[in-house]
Chains A and B, each alone.
Chain A
Amino acid sequence: MELQLGLAPPNHLIKGFDLNSPEEIMGPAKWACVRGLCGGKRDFDEAFDGPIKTLPLLWKQDDGGDEDDDGAQMGLDDAHSFNQCNNRRSVVGWPPIKASRKLGYGGGSTQREEMDESKGGYVKVMMEGVAIGRKVDLTVHDSYQTLTHTLNNMFGIYEKSGKEDGAKSPRYKLAYQDKEGDWMLVGDVPWGTFVQTVQRLKIQKRND
């Protein structure tokens, strides 16, 4: 399974876009960006006049996905690449179920016990072309979906939609270094195994 990082421009990247027509930018998904961050003063009344929309962390899984590659679309509505299976673990902490209940759902010990105690669950993430690395806490994630979602937010990764790869934009691939020091593509092994063996992560551009 090749994990394609989905689309989720974090708030600070929104400045460049035309905020007056959020649909144009983001497809049918019902969200826009945080107005307050995009310049322009607003007074108290204005705030209560119109909706302030935020960019939620949840991906709304679109049924068809938009095959037509509308130039303005960033393809946020195409969650195909994002949710590869019937599994909806795409948001941290939702639905609100305590971890002790999750024991029944995937068996085995809690995710915290699978982590290397000394790291406290954090692994370094480097992205090609970005000087400063980040750290991500794997203990709060329980699937590849939530992890890539967080990484999207962290690094501001987005790409065009559509299953056909028009080769117009680079896709990113996510690799990890395991305990033996080898670099592997993320997604080949079950999440539990991955979590026990991952030492660091790397996001690389990939051109086909």
Chain B
Amino acid sequence: MLAVDPEPRSNRIRQMASAFPEEVLEHVFSFVTSDKDRNAVSLVCKGWYRIERFCRRRIFVGNCYAVSPAIVTRRFPELRAVELKGKPHFADFNLVPYDWGGGVWPWISAMAEAYPQLEELRLKRMVVTDESLELLSRAFGNFRVLVMVSCEGFSTSGLAAVAANCRNLRVLDLQENYVEDQSGYWLSHFPESCTSLEVLNLACLEGEVNSSVLERLVARCPNLRTLRLNQAVPLEKLANILRRAPQLVDLGTGAFAADPRQELYSKLANVFEGSKSLKSLSGFWSVVPSYLPAIYSVCAGLTSLNLSYATIQSVELVNLISQCHNLQRLLVLDYIEDSGLDAVAASCKDLQELRVFPSDPYGVEQLVSLTERGLVAVSAGCTKLHSVLYFCRQMTNAALLAVAANRPNLIRFRLCIIEPRTPDYLTQQSLDVGFGAIVKSCQDLRRLSVSGLLTDLVFEYIGAHAKKLEMLSVAFAGESDLGLHHLLSGCKSLRKLEIRDCPFGNKALLANAAKFETMRSLWMSSCAVSFGACKLLAQKMPRLNVEVIDEVGRPDSLPESSVEKLYVYRTVAGPRSDMPDFVCTL
């Protein structure tokens, strides 16, 4: 006798879903914080979708053009925190024209109406005007957190408005923005009544800030835990400022240079001794080595150290770093050299993230002794190392194999061999096998940048093994469309792919058109993609924006002509309306 289920599963789910009153569901949802999970919750059934959208408080929009402000405000009427990203990553290296887009104004003006209760705004690679900041400062009465990373378009006037009007401001975090400096006195716009600051990061400002204003501001904010000064703050002022904030956890110094003077040194050493909570140090522009010992007393407690602006020699760097036994994050210039990295490997056993930047990126010769050996040493000595950014001038497959074997726990591996197409200097072969070892061994790899001489083979390896890879950067590599095809057909988790100067063209692009709806974006510049193929792609995939960027002339409508820059991204908002004339969406 057939047993028939009297209650189809979908009915049961509906019943379960409506078994709880809305308030209970809302309460349960409030524990669901990750965006992915929230999105999943909203897909269970219509009822949950409805409840979830009213109680969603924060959203993250990885591409501001993937959706429109209107769509967001309509669906989520009660947001308190919004995070937006604008330009593609290669904009950091001047590959995206200045006025390509990414303006925040439409978002702020829509949110000014929809979310008067907005508290937090985080922006990355967006164009922010002073008008936008002024509107922000007036529209949101309980605004608390403003984080801007790699943004541009605003001046200190905009910052003055934020300082003056956001009475409950807790976080003003400016990271690597282009800020037009009009007056150092914008800081005075923080009223005396402002005592709520917890994070103040001014490191990217180029102009002077009034030190006594800064000091008084710091003194009246007892919850200040992060203070990052800009290069213009002289070492003489640092002690006074720091003395006002002994509770600081994260300090960015200004210039770390002065004539060697005993009294200044003693003052500094004293005040650092009093900063018992310091865990993170950065700044160190123009370092005069004789002042470095003043900070030795905090070294043991440091978990993060950014010396990437410190142009001092390896020995001095090592003197400092070798005392930081609890260091988890280190940023440094290649002045550290292989010998310095040996010391890091020996002293910093908790190291998780290492970034080594080039001191002379445009020079032809190798002036510092930083090679693949330093990388291997750190990979061997630091067992918790999971994130690497390494600029160097030579590499071998053997070294990459060693890194792969030592550190299968790598999550981010970005290697930049400065001269494009550099082969293994011992064997003169390509570095396919080396990178292949990395992706085979590091099963959790989420981000990868490759460099050096690479054929299509490396992409075959990446496609076959890098199953968790989310972001890949490729430059001056590959031989044919097959390379790109391997990537697009193999990397299941790929979200962002950026390519420049590779012989990848139309076939791979069109054969994998559907892939792009599963990704956030694709950037291809100076490759072999034709205008006609871009048009075809756009026709095939209506939910993608296929942007052709051509500054040299108007985007050429000859199908054969080669596209200078291509940016493809999925969107529910259709073609954007704010494109300059050198961009066209097909």
Contact = CB atoms under 8 A, between A and B. Distances in A.
A181 interface: no
A139 interface: yes
B362 A101 contact: no
Contacts of A30: 421
Nearest to A11: B562
A36 B503 contact: no
Contacts of B527: 54
B481 A121 contact: no
Interface in A149-180: 153-154
B47 interface: no
B98 A120 contact: yes
B475 interface: yes
B505 A89 contact: no
A53 interface: yes
A86 B482 CA distance: 36
A95 B361 contact: yes
A39 to B, nearest CB: 9
Given A51-B480, A52-B528, A104-B309, A137 B360 contact: no
A91 B419 CA distance: 11
Nearest to B455: A51
Contacts of A58: 420, 476, 501
Interface of B is mostly: loop
A52 B416 contact: no
A100 B176 contact: yes
B557 interface: no
A190 B419 CA distance: 25
Given A11-B562, A95-B358, A101-B357, A54 B94 contact: no
Nearest to B178: A112
Contacts, number: 140
A23 B492 CA distance: 38
Interface stretch (A42-50, A65-73, A197-205): A42-50
A88 B363 contact: yes
Contact of B505 (A36, A98, A99): A36
A101 B502 CA distance: 26
Interface of A is mostly: loop
Contact of A92 (B95, B358, B364, B482): B95
A120 to B, nearest CB: 6
B358 A97 contact: yes
Contact of A86 (B152, B206, B365): B365
Nearest to A56: B501
B41 to A, nearest CB: 37
A97 B93 contact: yes
A121 B97 CA distance: 10
A164 to B, nearest CB: 25
Nearest to B558: A12
Interface residues of A, number: 49
A113 interface: yes
Contact of A101 (B99, B308, B562): B308
A36 B178 CA distance: 41
Nearest to B94: A140
Interface string A109-138: 110110000001100000000000011010
A207 interface: no
A182 B545 CA distance: 45
Interface string B216-241: 00000000000000000000000000
Nearest to A141: B94
Nearest to B311: A104
A93 B480 contact: no
A12 B553 CA distance: 14
B170 interface: no
B435 interface: no
Nearest to A30: B421
A64 interface: no
Interface string B151-176: 01000000000000000000000001
A92 B90 CA distance: 11
Contact of A54 (B90, B98, B475, B502): B502
Contacts of A61: 364
Contacts of A36: 505-506, 528, 530, 560
A12 B551 CA distance: 16
A16 interface: no
Interface in B535-586: 551-553, 560-562
B359 to A, nearest CB: 8
Contact of B476 (A44, A56, A97): A56
Given A56-B526, A120-B98, A139-B98, A87 B364 contact: yes
Given A54-B502, A121-B98, A47 B416 contact: no
B57 interface: no
Contact of A93 (B500, B506, B528, B560): B500
Given A97-B361, A98-B93, A99-B94, A48 B507 contact: yes
B553 A134 contact: yes
B208 interface: no
A120 B152 CA distance: 13
B263 interface: no
Contacts of A99: 92, 94, 178
Contact of A37 (B204, B420, B530): B530
Nearest to A117: B180
B178 A48 contact: no
A89 B362 contact: yes
Given A87-B362, A101-B308, A140 B97 contact: yes
Given A98-B150, A99-B178, A105-B360, 19 more contacts: A34-B528, A34-B562, A37-B530, A47-B507, A48-B481, A51-B479, A52-B479, A52-B503, A54-B503, A56-B476, A61-B364, A92-B93, A93-B93, A93-B94, A94-B93, A99-B94, A104-B359, A137-B98, A139-B94
CB-CB nearest 6 A-B residue pairs? A93-B93, A54-B503, A51-B479, A47-B507, A54-B528, A140-B94
27 contacts: A11-B561, A11-B562, A12-B561, A34-B528, A48-B480, A52-B481, A54-B503, A54-B527, A56-B526, A86-B364, A87-B363, A91-B420, A92-B94, A93-B90, A93-B93, A94-B93, A95-B391, A96-B475, A97-B391, A99-B94, A101-B308, A104-B359, A112-B178, A120-B99, A121-B98, A135-B551, A137-B97
